[in-house]
Chain A
Amino acid sequence: GAVVSQHPSWVICKSGTSVKIECRSLDFQATTMFWYRQFPKQSLMLMATSNEGSKATYEQGVEKDKFLINHASLTLSTLTVTSAHPEDSSFYICSARDMEREYYNEQFFGPGTRLTVL
């Protein structure tokens, strides 16, 4: 089956620092990857859609200069939280679509990265 990995699985950082989260599709190629944020006991909120080789499309209310997304290859997308603040503490989940299986509308999710900003 299609596997999406995220690294790190958890990270603790000081306020004001930047944190990079990696999302990889391990056994398939993904032209499109998605980044979600989930606060405790809440749903997943789509932050941005990342397309390989082009700029990401951000959802309304998401600061593109704060959440930098780079989708440099068909198997890797990165999310960098710049100048992190305690309110950025959340569970970040990436997801990828298999470009070979677009018809099946399948979207595969990573295990998530828990970010805690002190």
Chain B
Amino acid sequence: SQQGEEDPQALSIQEGENATMNCSYKTSINNLQWYRQNSGRGLVHLILIRSNEREKHSGRLRVTLDTSKKSSSLLITASRAADTASYFCATRGFSGGYNKLIFGAGTRLAVHP
């Protein structure tokens, strides 16, 4: 079962612009992770944010987490054509569902040169 929704489903921007993707989820979580997937390829782990954290940075990536709203956002600054990919959030829950990583629907990002 899918945990949540992401929006937008698709995003098209120019190189140099910032890209913001949002993720909402339904149940309590231990942590939330963002992954990137190039077309037809495997997943690349980008960043993990724990439930007691509100913001995290990694290079050009900035992730926020609002547990009261059960939502997270991924910001990619100064985007590049190589950032073109699908981006997924994934949540890990507590007991019962603790061991599972459940993925959102994903955002397809296209960065044009």
Chain A contacts to B: CB under 8 angstroms:
32, 34, 36, 41-46, 49, 59-60, 91, 93, 95, 105-112, 114
Residues on A with C-beta less than 8 A from B1 are 46, 59-60
Q: A49-B99, A111-B41 are in contact. Are A105 and B30 (CB under 8 A)?
A: yes
Residue B13 at the A interface, CB < 8 A? no
Chain B contacts to A: CB under 8 angstroms:
1-2, 30-31, 33, 35, 40-43, 45, 48, 88, 92, 99-106, 108
B63 to chain A, nearest CB (A): 15
B100–A111 CB distance below 8 A? no
Looking at chain A's contact residues, is the secondary structure mostly helix, strand, loop, or mixed?
strand
A44–B103 CB distance below 8 A? yes
Q: A105-B48, A106-B45, A109-B43 are in contact. Are A41 and B103 (CB under 8 A)?
A: no
Residues on A with C-beta less than 8 A from B106 are 42-43
B92–A105 CB distance below 8 A? yes
In the bound assembly, the distance between CA atoms of A34 and B110 in angstroms comes to: 29
